Amino acid sequence: DVKVTQSSRYLVKRTGEKVFLECVQDMDHENMFWYRQDPGLGLRLIYFSYDVKMKEKGDIPEGYSVSREKKERFSLILESASTNQTSMYLCASNTGTPFTDTQYFGPGTRLTVL
Amino acid sequence: TQLLEQSPQFLSIQEGENLTVYCNSSSVFSSLQWYRQEPGEGPVLLVTVVTGGEVKKLKRLTFQFGDARKDSSLHITAAQPGDTGLYLCAGLLPGTYKYIFGTGTRLKVLA
pLDDT in tens, A69-113: 999 999 999 999 999 999 999 999 998 776 667 889 999 999 999
Nearest CA in chain B to A40: B103
Is residue B28 within 8 angstroms of chain A, CB to CB?
A: no
Residues in chain A, how many? 114
Beta strands A54-57; A31-38: pairing state: unpaired
Query: How many angstroms separate the CA atoms of A110 and A13, rounded?
Result: 11
Residues in chain B with CB shorter than 8 Å from the CB of A96 are 97
Query: How many angstroms separate the CA atoms of A92 and A5, rounded?
Result: 9
User: Is the pLDDT score of B1 beyond 60?
Assistant: no
Do B108 and B85 form a contact (C-beta atoms < 8 A)?
Answer: no
Is residue B99 within 8 angstroms of chain A, CB to CB?
A: yes
Q: What is the pLDDT of residue B2?
A: 61
Query: How many angstroms separate the CA atoms of B68 and A63, rounded?
Result: 36
Query: What phi and psi values does residue B83 have, to the nearest 5 degrees?
Result: -80, -10
B49, amino acid identity: V
Residues in chain B, how many? 111
> Of B43, B98, B103, which is closest to A105 when you measure between CB atoms?
B43
Is residue B9 within 8 angstroms of chain A, CB to CB?
A: yes
Q: What is the pLDDT of residue A92?
A: 95
CA atoms within 13 A on the CB side of B90: 29
B17-27 pLDDT, tens digit each: 999 999 999 99
Q: What is the pLDDT of residue A57?
A: 94
User: Is the pLDDT score of A2 beyond 80?
Assistant: no
B75-101 pLDDT, tens digit each: 999 999 999 999 999 999 898 888 999
Q: What is the pLDDT of residue A100?
A: 67
B30-79 pLDDT, tens digit each: 999 999 999 889 999 999 999 999 999 999 999 999 999 999 999 999 99
> Of A43, A48, A102, which is closest to B88 when you measure between CB atoms?
A43
